Structure 1
Amino acid sequence: MAGQATFHIDERDHLASLRAANVRQLRSRRFLIRITTLSIVAASVLGGILFAVGEYPWTAVIAVVSGVIGGLAALALLIGLTWLLLPRRARRLYRQNRLLQRQVTARWSDAGLEWETSSGHTRLGWDDVHAWQSDTRVTLVYLTDLLFRMIPAHALDSDARQDLVATLARHAPHRR
């Protein structure tokens, strides 16, 4: 079934979309592989150096475990700080990007997706959609891992939201 929504994106919508995209990146397999690989390499290098230099092998083991725990704690601190600063960044980026502040009409059908504003018209076939995700605040349609279009939940009644999600589920890969 075809559907349509006309809306203005506000700062809260923009923040919700950035938070959803941020969580998606943190939950991605790519992020977990990178963190795991970095931890193993760092632990191996640190352990090798300490084992070669130290008199007691257990000292190296304790230092490696402490280093991995400290590194993961530092990573958690950086992720938390990024999360806390995200509202400030969202407000700043929203004010900079005039395109976000224009009225948007989004359309969806079995043929694809369309976004229309006063400055242009974009038509996407389903092959152009990389992934999608939806939560209570926003539905994101990804064109790449980081580039997305959004439809805020307040722009849709429950039937339109169900239709949009069903259309996306039929035609586009769903990656959380």
Structure 2
Amino acid sequence: MLIVLLALMALVAMAGSLWRGHASWAEVFGPLAIAYFPAWYWLYLPWKVRRLYAQQRSLHQPFSVEIETAGLQFRTENGSGLLPWGNLYRWRESGKVFVLYQSDLLFSLIPKRCFESGAAQDEFRTTLARQVGPVDKPRARP
């Protein structure tokens, strides 16, 4: 929110300089650079994520997950695969999903709505803590 406020103030100052005919490149470039980050975060990134989701048809198919001693068994209509516990290095949880990380860029999402009950979610959370380690607390957003 602070970045947006600063960008708006800089844009107003730039508009004033342009209006008076005294604008320099620094006065034009600075506000545009500041405005880039909110535009990227709130406009470009959501658009890109929606586009990637639409392209990845396998994400639209139903799947099932079973907890096994060796790991998580994923099944879809096209096949199945085992995600060994040792391949997970961290996990997180939000109000709607469990996020299981194999790397910073490769992860699996398990929606909480797929669990039969809150007790099943608690059991899954306990299993993750035992097999992978304690929950990785999300960093606070600036």
What is the TM-score with the length of structure 2 in the denominator?
0.64
After the TM superposition, which residues 49-88 of structure 1 pair with which residues of structure 2 at under 5 Å, given as runs?
74=34, 78=37, 80-85=38-43, 86-88=45-47
* Aligned counterparts of 1:122 and 1:153: Cα–Cα separation in 2: 21
Distance 2:132 2:83 in 1: 12
Residues 130, 123 of structure 1: alpha-carbon distance in 2 compared, 3 angstrom cutoff: same
Q: Distance in 1 between matches of 2:112 and 2:55?
A: 23
Write out aligned runs for 1:130-145 (5 A): 130-145=89-104
Give the share of equivalent positions with the same residue, in percent.
33
For structure 1, the residue ranges without an aligned partner over 5 or more in a row are 1-69
Deviation at 1:118, TM superposition (A): 1.4
Given residue 82 of structure 1, which amino acid in structure 2 is its aligned partner?
A: W
- Structure with larger RCO (C-alpha < 8 A, sep 6+): 1
Note if 1:169 corresponds to 2:129. Answer: yes
Root mean square deviation of aligned Cα: 2.1
State whether residues 110 and 171 of structure 1, in contact with CA within 8 Å, keep that contact through their aligned partners in structure 2. no
User: In structure 1, what is the equivalent of residue 120 of structure 2?
Assistant: 160
Within the alignment, does 1:115 sit opposite 2:74 as a pair? Answer: yes
How many positions carry a matched residue from both structures? 103
Question: Retained in 2: the 8 A contact 1:130–1:145?
Answer: no
* 1:162 positional shift: 0.8
Give the direction of change, closer, same or farther, for the CA distance of 1:84–1:128 in structure 2 (3 Å limit).
same
Is the alpha carbon distance of 1:112 and 1:91 closer, same or farther for their aligned partners in structure 2, counting shifts above 3 Å? same
